[in-house]
Every structure is written in C-alpha cells, then in structure tokens.
Chain A
C-alpha cells in the first residue's frame, strides 16, 4: 500500500509562493487595494464594452492591433530565447532575476514559485504566440496596416463578446445540450455501469489481502473509464454533428454569441455528466459497502480454554467461522476483554451476552475496512548516518525506486521526523484520552537471515527540537508493508539521566512552544536495515467519514470528466467529429503521461532523446555509453535538442489528467484534504478558461458560424 507525494503544500503557499505572507500585496491593505482595482477596473471595462454598440474605428483598431502585436512579438522573442540553455540563462540573469528581485517586497520571497504566476506566464505566452501567428497571417494576406487593423478589430470583438455574455442564453444553450444528450441516449452509460457492477464480482479477486482497497479501486476505475469514454464521445461529436446536420445554423441565426454556444455546450454536458456520475456514485457506494459488509459466527464450542500459569485465570481462544474468504482468531482474557485478530485490514467488535449458563457471542460489522484517515505529516524527514552525522538521505540498499531511504541497525543511524503545529487543541484529551496515535509503514531489509520467526526490532525516541530533550518511548518489532500503530501516551514515566524515574508530559516537555515535535526511529539489529519515506510515519489526527471521502473520489472523476468535455468541445469547434475525438483522446493520453513527457522534455532520460534512442536501438548500444564523436552524433544531438524544445513547450500546455485522480487515496483509506481539492478545482478552472476561449476563437473563425 504505497502512495507517493501524500504531502500537499498549503493552498496559499502553492498558489502564491512559499513566502507569500511577507508580500505587501498580500497584507490586508494590499489585498483591499488589489480587490478595489480588480473589481473597479473590471466592472468599468465591462460596462464600457457592453455599452459600446459600434465597432471601433480604423485608427483605434490599428492602435490596438499594433500594441498587441508589439507585445506578442516580445512574448515570441522571450519564448524563442527560452529555447536554448545559453539564451535562457542570459534572459534569466539579465531580465527575469532583476524583475523577481524587484517584486519581492510586493509579492513576498519565492513568489515566482507560485502557481498563479506560472499560470499568468503560460497564459500570456500562449496568447502572445496565438496572436502573433494570427497577426503575421493577416499581414501576409492584407498588408501591414490592414492586417494590424483587422487584428485590432478582432481583439475588440472578442472582448466585446466576452463582456456581453448572457447567463440566460448560456443556460438556454446548456439546456439544449442536455436535451441533445438525452436524445442521444446517454443514459445507456448508466445501464452499462449497472451491468458492469452486476458482473464485477467476476473480476474482483475474492481472497485479496486488502479487499477494501481492491473494491474501491475497481469501482472507481470503472467509473473513470466510463465517464472518460462518455464525455469524450459526447463532447467531440456533438458540434460537428450539428454543423453536418445544419442544426447549428438555426442557432447561429438567433441572437447568440459564439462564446455562449461553446460555454453552453460545455456546461450542458458537464451537467449531464454530473447527474450520471451522481447516479453511478450512489450505486457504486452501495455496491462497495454491501460487498464488504459481513460478520462471522462464534459459538462457545469454537473457543477452547487455556489456563494461564500462576493461577491467573483462564484464557479463551478460538477462531470465528469463515466468511468472505477469511476467519479471525479470537482471544478473551480472564477479565473478559476480547481481542479479535486483524485480518484483511479489519477487525470486528465482539459482544458477549449471558443467557443462563450459556454465553452468546456476536460479532459486529467490519471495522477499519472503509476509512478516511486524516494524517498529520511531518514537515521534514532528516537522517543521521551510522556515525551520527546529519545526512539528507539514508542508504540506498539497491532499490530501483529511491522513494525510501534506509538506516543501518545497531549504529547511530536514525531517521528523524519533525512535526510542526502540534498542540493540545489538535489532540484534545476528550478525543485522545490514551495518547496520540502514530501510524507507520516501514520497510525492512535484511542482509542476513537473522531470526526468521521474529521481526527486526527498533526503537522510538521522542524529542523536543527546541530544548534538545530526548526521551526513549519504547522498542517495537517492524511489520513490513503493514501499518503499525504506536500510541504516544499523553504522560508517561521514564528513566531520567540520573537513573531516577521521571514523569514526562508530552505537550509540556516534548512539544516545543512553537508546536514542534521530533520522532526518531532507529533499528536495533546489526546488519539489518529499516527503510522509510517522509509519508511513512504520521500522526493520525482524526477519522473522516468514508462516505464523504468516497464522494471526494467522485469529485476527482468529475474534474477529469469536465476537462475532457472542455477539450472535446474545443477541438470540435474546428475539427470534424472523428478527428476531434482522436485529438481529444490524444490529449488525454498525453495528459496521463505528462510526467513522462516533462522528463523527456527536460533531457533527463537515460539514453537520450528520441533520435539518440533510435540510434542506440539500431546499433545495439547500451543506454549509458557515450556516442562516438562526429558529425552524425552532432546531428543527432541537435535534432534531439529541437525535439526537446518542442516537447518542453508542449508539456506546459497538456492537461495533467492524473492530478485529479484521488482513487488511490480513497482506496488506501486516506482523507482527501480540502487543500488538495481546492488546488485541483483552481487548476481545472485555470485550464478550462483558455480552452473555452480557444474554442470560441476557433468557432468564430468558422464559415458556418458567421
């Protein structure tokens, strides 16, 4: 059960850069000023555009077209300069860095890492490139003055169209799209899902070690594929079909704007998709909960008594009946406390009732199978090597996947998680009476067999980073690839340095006054290793509602669906149906592998770019040997550099479909946090906005829509 990158930066940090809170603009006064400017200026512009009924004059058009043209040429130059490493560095040193430095007081330190600024940069670049292409084409066709004037007029038209969007008309067009979808029997998707769910039991492995994870993954993945397919077909084929059947002509003759047509389609299809997803979500939730729900039988005959040494009473041991391909070992101690063994990620509550001489045992519904843990992750994970020196990373034991680092046993090597923002408010005594639960999933690497019947032992130490006080908590046995829960008591007695017993209060002695707490793990067995990553140890702050988390999983699917609809409608404004379908499909596939594309574009792939790889394949060279110097190699390098440049620009605009995928988190029982959802919603809006605008511009250029 491994999920990478569970840690999500706070929304503000992600959106505006790490040091945004220092920026003057983001102080109350700055924000107020900004809002006044944006709202005031925006509304002013909006009213001005809505009230201007006539087209701009030739001089105004020429001025507007010229200004945009110059700006677009600047953008184009910047894009061109960014294409090679040397010119890019020059541009950064001579223009970007001074500008970054100048903006620091206003926007805060590290502002350039903020997603908002990146988006503004990319959107500006893209607009500049599109405008520059259009402008140059117009100049070629009609000459410099006429071309510039035409472009200026087009810009005003676009702005005017945008300002005049009518919610009523958009709603009417959206409703039309809904009716069209119904006419196309979109409800078949729902039927297909129901049929798939009916036969899902055939595909799902009954004896999985993690049934909850598997059921949720299967159900959500079914939904992902189905929703993608449905939204792809619906969005990419709708507009071309209308153009072919000349239905669109009846619409464009009405007083509607092209932007309203595009927007109406997108919103209409999203509405249909939302309703469908709602229905599918309800069914799949019911299916998951119903399929995993079970209990076991336990009778007195199934338990056998075992006398404890020293007349300490009688222990009852036994196993429950078999259900859902498993059974649980049950132990009832002399005090009557029952322990039901954890099997397949869950346990059951055991209720014992006396009816005369006979005891009746009843097991409750599974506990821990469907959950939504709310973890608090450490701010940092640091290491100490075997001599005790601080290190950024531990040892690599030869794993190809370097997500985890390892520490050697019986040495000074240690892994230290530092938590921030820990306080009694987060862990109130009423809710956490026994202490703070720490959950960890460690990897164990043995260099010798050791004692195979016993896990590799380790130790947990707690520390106050400010006072330097360190307290041994306990030893434990590592459970590889299984979640181990350790409780940190709110107060406990430990041996002090002088050997005397000392009572430690967790929040008073170990959590620093700025809310920091250190948890240190060490392996105790020589030549054995523990492996860990930052997200492998966390404090379990609360348990969210599974139903709510399941809904968030569907929200992720909804975001993916909306993205596909936006892209499909955009492509369908200028491509024929099948081509638009293929183009959207291509964009989604590229979006799914965007990480790979970024890696490829960054020239980080072992074995070089496409041309170098092809050369290596043909000559049978391995991936790391240097190519023979010569003209051929130079040519290959140049071609790879050109491809890499194209890919770099391309990778900046492909949709990151995988980002909205919450399936793993929901399946592995982790709560999908508000920050993550907000970030994905913002990304979606930031992506759909230019996509819809592009669709509108393309539709505007089509003859059919004139």
Chain B
C-alpha cells in the first residue's frame, strides 16, 4: 500500500472512520486550493462613483500591469470567446489549419470560402494585430485585383476595410490598425488604377447613370466613422478626408510604451494626415472644383503641413526635432559664423585661400556662386529686418561634399583665433557645429517626407496664377474628352503659360524637379500635341515647358505615330538628351 493510501485509509481505523477521515481530508484540501486559486485569479473590479474597484488577484494584477486583459485590448466578442473556448486549448492548431485553408482558397480563387475562413481566423485570434493587418491588406489589395469589373474590385477593397474595422473594434487601443484604415482609404481608393471609379463609388453618390450606390458602400459608410470622429470641415464624400480622419485617430492612440509608433519612422507616421489634405486639394481640382474652395483647400494643406513641421518628432538620432526649425538653425549658424569671423578677423579668408588650390575649377566657381548667394541672402535678410514680407526668403544651398572641402570650418577658425578671444571662439565654434548638425539631421528627416516639395507645392498651388492654369487645363481636358480639339488647344496654351509663370518664380522653381507634377504636365503636353497633330504641326519652338520635357520624358513613352514628326516632341527631346 502506498504512503498516500496509508494516510487516507489507515488499517487501524474502522471503515466508517476511514470514510469520515477521507471526507475531512478532501474538504480541507478543497478549501486550501480555493484560497490559493482565489489569491491567484480573483478578477479585478472596476471603480464606480459609489464603489472603489479592487485590483484583483495576482494574475489579474499581472494582466493589468502588462495591459493583457481582454478589456484592455478591446471589445469582447461573445462569438469569438465561444469559439476560442470550444477549441479546447487547440486554438493555435485550429488557427494554423484555417490559415492554411485560407491560402488554399485564395490560390483556388474560392473567395466566398476565403472570406468565411478569414472570419473564423479572426474569431480565434481577435487580438493578433498581424492577422487583421495582413488579411485586410490581402483582401483590399490582392483579392480585389483578381476581379475584372471595377465594381467587383471595389467590393473587395471595401471587404478589406470592413475586416479591418472589425479588427479596430476588437483592438480599439491599437494605433496601427487605425493607421492602416487611413492608408487603405486614402491610398488604395485614391491612387489605384481604377481610382476614378473607386472615388466615385466611395462618395456614396448616385452614378452617372443615375444608379444608387451599391449596398455594400452604403453599409460601409454607415460604420466608417473613426473612433475619434471627423475633424470639423471634413468632406465625408472624399476618401482623402476620411483617410485623414483615420490617420488622426491613429495619432491620438499613440501611447508609449505599450502603443508607440511601430514599424516606421515617426516623421513618416505623422506626415500622412497632412499629406491627405494635399491630395484632397489636388483631387478637388481634378474633379473640376476651382476658385475659393480649391484655394482654401491648398491653404489648409499649407497650414496643416506647417503644424506638422512644428510637431517635435523623435528620431533615430535620439533627438526630438521640429522640421520647421531648419531655416532658423541655418540662420543661427550663419549669424554665429559672422560673430566668429569678427573674433578672428581674416582667418576664414586665409583658410579658404589655402583650400582653394585643391578644388577643381568648376567647384571653385560653384563655391564662389554660393558665397555670393549667401552674402546676398544675408543682406536681404538684414534689409527685411523688422519689415513684414509675404514671400519667404530662399536660403542658398550647396553640395555638402563641396562645403566640406571648400569651407573654413568653425573649429579651424577658432583654433587660429587670437589668444584674447580664443576660448570664446572655441565655444562659438562648438555652438555652430551643434546648429549645423541639427540642421543636417532636420534636412534628412525632411527629405524622408519630401517636406520642402509639399510646402512649396502648397504655396504655389494657392496662387491665383496656378489656380487659373489648373482651371484652363481642366477646361482643355473637358473639351479634349469631347473631341473638341479646337477649343482644347487655346485652353492648354493658357494653362501652360500659367504654369510657366509659376515655375519661373524662384520660390517655386524646384517644382520642375517633381515627378508627379512633371508627369501631369507631360500628359498635358501630349494632349496638346495631339491637338496640334490635327494641323500636322509639332510643338512650337522654343517650347514653353521644354524644361519639363527634358526632365521627365522617357524613351519608352514614345507614341509610335509621332516618330516622323519634323519638330521636336516631348519624346524626341528626351531621346536627344
């Protein structure tokens, strides 16, 4: 007989006593276990006005501490909980099998079963963010393009969004899902090949044939409001504004350390909401809305971009930077350099003279040009001091490598400074170096989001010349679409002249480099060329937007029927180049 059995049933006791003794042992054991279980897993209670909540047992406190309790993660779905319990601890196996099946259904293009399998997966893994993100993307981006009719395609884009919305409901503290919602609504709907149709369907308005929008669009529009709501003045018919609201919701949900910005640089994360406003304004004009409405949209875009530039952004340099500070840092560094020159008179020129022989002749010319522009900038700045000016002053720039080789470094100047101001010069040199480093980091962060381009674009687009140019091109396009090439041609010419004026402005000259704008203008030039083809004429020489052609046309864009044109076309210009 084992020792355990001896304790329970000692042979010295009678059968009745043994039974009583056994019951006592069972009873005491149960009480001990209940106490231990209670200590471990007593659930937490929430505080109300009348009652103070209890932190619960060890496990409840641990869950609370790490934000792992169901209520912490999001809503609890009874169906999901039932299914999870029904798998009897084999949730992982069931999830893997379903995932495998879903892949097979997708391969075999069995969309109904794929959708059903994805629902089941999400019920089993409701708090697995990657499941929601991946499969919503899969539906909106992969499954949708498997269809031919754009109505069907859009149905699956919306299915992906619906799936993601379920994910948001189940994980309402997770910023990544809201960010994805913003991305899908803005990017997928607004920039797809079929964006023209998607945007119209998304708007929930009647189609050109007078048909009601599909039911799935109506249903989606009933539930697409983000948890933080829409900002005032939002156009809920427009995907870019709805997307922006979701990006803003994602921003509002950032709460480190549990919910930090993950998977992308902060500067990119925060740039999407204001970028949506740019696309919104751009699409307003593409849809034929001009005048004050468009101007206000571009003004809002500029304001929001400015606000974005003011936001302190954590970077990989372990510094929080503000993108708008770059110009100030440049000015501050230059002012300190002037101060340093005063402390060490003539040293800078002496040092630069020493470096000059090592420079190639074209580098010398570039450096001289930069110095000249810098002096001009400083003078202009001095003159403007205290005066109110609408136009911002453009800061001169030069290749960083050339600057490294040609410029007298502040610490070099400081080292050669007179003994009387030596320490002061060294401190100043350190400050200059600090400002320049911050300016360099800020420039890098700005380049990640094309900060300068968008800012310039917003400023250019809101001008009367640009709005008029856009309107003329839109009118030209309307006439072109109707086949009225005679009316289209002068409108295009008017539009291109308008753009020339805008691009000739030194403030906006950098827009020539932009691929999107360049591509748009190149399309206009092509349509204009088609108008000229009617009279068997080539583009007038010199062509007004030749710089755009030179910059953006590619050999593969060549239309085959233009190869025998006598005059220079966008394509031939590029080929020549």
Chain A residues in the interface with B (C-beta under 8 A): 1-2, 4, 202-203, 205, 207-210, 213-214, 217-218, 319, 322, 325-327, 329, 400-401, 403, 443-444, 446, 449, 452-453, 455-456, 478-481
- Does B152 lie within 8 Å of A2, measured CB to CB? no
B441 CB to closest chain A CB (Å) equals 38
For B194, what are the chain A residues with a Cβ–Cβ distance below 8 Å? 449, 452
For B108, what are the chain A residues with a Cβ–Cβ distance below 8 Å? 2, 4, 401, 403
Q: Of B78, B107, B147, which contacts A400 at CB under 8 A? A: B107
- Does B115 lie within 8 Å of A443, measured CB to CB? no
- Does B150 lie within 8 Å of A453, measured CB to CB? yes
Chain B residues in the interface with A (C-beta under 8 A): 78-79, 107-113, 115-116, 119, 146-150, 152, 155, 193-194, 197, 211-212, 215-216, 219
For A207, what are the chain B residues with a Cβ–Cβ distance below 8 Å? 215-216, 219
Q: Is the interface of A mostly helix, strand, loop or mixed?
A: loop
B481 CB to closest chain A CB (Å) equals 14
- Does B215 lie within 8 Å of A326, measured CB to CB? yes
For B152, what are the chain A residues with a Cβ–Cβ distance below 8 Å? 480-481
- Does A325 lie within 8 Å of B116, measured CB to CB? no
Given contacts A202-B78, A325-B215, A479-B148, 14 further A-B contacts (CB under 8 A): A1-B112, A2-B110, A208-B116, A209-B111, A213-B112, A217-B113, A218-B116, A326-B215, A327-B215, A401-B108, A452-B193, A452-B194, A481-B109, A481-B152
Given A2-B109, A202-B79, A401-B107, are A446 and B211 neighbors across the interface (CB < 8 Å)?
no
- Does B112 lie within 8 Å of A455, measured CB to CB? no
For B197, what are the chain A residues with a Cβ–Cβ distance below 8 Å? 452-453
Q: Of B112, B149, B211, which contacts A209 at CB under 8 A? A: B112
B14 CB to closest chain A CB (Å) equals 30
A61 CB to closest chain B CB (Å) equals 50
CA distance A327 to B214 in the complex (A): 9
- Does B215 lie within 8 Å of A444, measured CB to CB? no
CA distance A325 to B162 in the complex (A): 15
Residue of B nearest to A306 (CB): B210
Residue of B116, B146, B194 with most partner-chain A CB within 10 A = B116
- Does A205 lie within 8 Å of B79, measured CB to CB? no
- Does A444 lie within 8 Å of B116, measured CB to CB? no
Residue of A217, A319, A326, A452 with most partner-chain B CB within 10 A = A452
Q: Of A205, A452, A453, A456, which contacts B119 at CB under 8 A? A: A205
- Does B148 lie within 8 Å of A214, measured CB to CB? no
For B212, what are the chain A residues with a Cβ–Cβ distance below 8 Å? 319
For A481, what are the chain B residues with a Cβ–Cβ distance below 8 Å? 109, 111, 146-147, 152
A233 CB to closest chain B CB (Å) equals 14
A selection of 19 A-B contacts at a CB cut-off of 8 Å is A1-B110, A2-B110, A4-B108, A202-B79, A205-B115, A205-B119, A209-B112, A214-B112, A214-B116, A218-B116, A401-B108, A403-B108, A452-B194, A453-B150, A479-B149, A480-B148, A480-B152, A481-B109, A481-B146
Q: Is the interface of B mostly helix, strand, loop or mixed?
A: helix
For A214, what are the chain B residues with a Cβ–Cβ distance below 8 Å? 112, 116
Residue of B79, B111, B149, B197 with most partner-chain A CB within 10 A = B149
For A319, what are the chain B residues with a Cβ–Cβ distance below 8 Å? 212
CA distance A207 to B216 in the complex (A): 8
Given A214-B112, A400-B107, are A203 and B79 neighbors across the interface (CB < 8 Å)?
yes
Residue of B nearest to A456 (CB): B148
A221 CB to closest chain B CB (Å) equals 10
Residue of B nearest to A326 (CB): B215
A24 CB to closest chain B CB (Å) equals 44
- Does A208 lie within 8 Å of B115, measured CB to CB? yes
CA distance A73 to B108 in the complex (A): 46
CA distance A478 to B149 in the complex (A): 10
Q: Of B119, B147, B155, B193, which contacts A480 at CB under 8 A? A: B147
Residue of B nearest to A442 (CB): B148
CA distance A453 to B209 in the complex (A): 12
CA distance A479 to B152 in the complex (A): 10
Q: Of B113, B115, B148, which contacts A446 at CB under 8 A? A: B148
For A452, what are the chain B residues with a Cβ–Cβ distance below 8 Å? 150, 193-194, 197
Query: Which 3 residue pairs across A and B have the least CB separation, nearest first?
Result: A480-B148, A444-B148, A401-B107
A270 CB to closest chain B CB (Å) equals 27
CA distance A443 to B119 in the complex (A): 26
For B155, what are the chain A residues with a Cβ–Cβ distance below 8 Å? 209
Residue of B nearest to A399 (CB): B107
- Does A210 lie within 8 Å of B112, measured CB to CB? yes
Residue of B nearest to A528 (CB): B148
CA distance A205 to B122 in the complex (A): 13
- Does B211 lie within 8 Å of A322, measured CB to CB? no
Residue of A nearest to B215 (CB): A326
For A327, what are the chain B residues with a Cβ–Cβ distance below 8 Å? 215
Residue of A nearest to B212 (CB): A319
CA distance A670 to B108 in the complex (A): 18
For B116, what are the chain A residues with a Cβ–Cβ distance below 8 Å? 205, 208, 214, 217-218
CA distance A455 to B107 in the complex (A): 23
For B219, what are the chain A residues with a Cβ–Cβ distance below 8 Å? 207, 325
B158 CB to closest chain A CB (Å) equals 10
- Does A480 lie within 8 Å of B110, measured CB to CB? no
For A455, what are the chain B residues with a Cβ–Cβ distance below 8 Å? 148-149
A222 CB to closest chain B CB (Å) equals 12
B202 CB to closest chain A CB (Å) equals 16
CA distance A218 to B216 in the complex (A): 23
For B146, what are the chain A residues with a Cβ–Cβ distance below 8 Å? 481
CA distance A452 to B115 in the complex (A): 25
CA distance A444 to B145 in the complex (A): 11
Residue of B nearest to A319 (CB): B212
- Does B148 lie within 8 Å of A478, measured CB to CB? yes
For B148, what are the chain A residues with a Cβ–Cβ distance below 8 Å? 444, 446, 455-456, 478-480
- Does B193 lie within 8 Å of A449, measured CB to CB? yes
A561 CB to closest chain B CB (Å) equals 21
A626 CB to closest chain B CB (Å) equals 27
Residue of B nearest to A304 (CB): B210
- Does B107 lie within 8 Å of A322, measured CB to CB? no
CA distance A322 to B111 in the complex (A): 24
A409 CB to closest chain B CB (Å) equals 13
For B149, what are the chain A residues with a Cβ–Cβ distance below 8 Å? 455, 479-480
For B115, what are the chain A residues with a Cβ–Cβ distance below 8 Å? 205, 208
- Does A322 lie within 8 Å of B109, measured CB to CB? no
A638 CB to closest chain B CB (Å) equals 31
A480 CB to closest chain B CB (Å) equals 4
Given A207-B219, A444-B148, A455-B148, are A401 and B109 neighbors across the interface (CB < 8 Å)?
yes
CA distance A237 to B360 in the complex (A): 93
A581 CB to closest chain B CB (Å) equals 15
For A217, what are the chain B residues with a Cβ–Cβ distance below 8 Å? 113, 116
Q: Of B79, B147, B193, B215, which contacts A322 at CB under 8 A? A: B215
For B211, what are the chain A residues with a Cβ–Cβ distance below 8 Å? 329
A513 CB to closest chain B CB (Å) equals 39
CA distance A401 to B106 in the complex (A): 10
CA distance A400 to B152 in the complex (A): 22
B407 CB to closest chain A CB (Å) equals 50
CA distance A443 to B149 in the complex (A): 12
Residue of A nearest to B123 (CB): A203
For A401, what are the chain B residues with a Cβ–Cβ distance below 8 Å? 107-109
For B193, what are the chain A residues with a Cβ–Cβ distance below 8 Å? 449, 452
B560 CB to closest chain A CB (Å) equals 15
For A443, what are the chain B residues with a Cβ–Cβ distance below 8 Å? 109
CA distance A203 to B79 in the complex (A): 7
CA distance A1 to B109 in the complex (A): 8
CA distance A403 to B108 in the complex (A): 8
For B150, what are the chain A residues with a Cβ–Cβ distance below 8 Å? 452-453
A591 CB to closest chain B CB (Å) equals 16
Residue of A nearest to B112 (CB): A210
B278 CB to closest chain A CB (Å) equals 25
B576 CB to closest chain A CB (Å) equals 28
For A322, what are the chain B residues with a Cβ–Cβ distance below 8 Å? 215
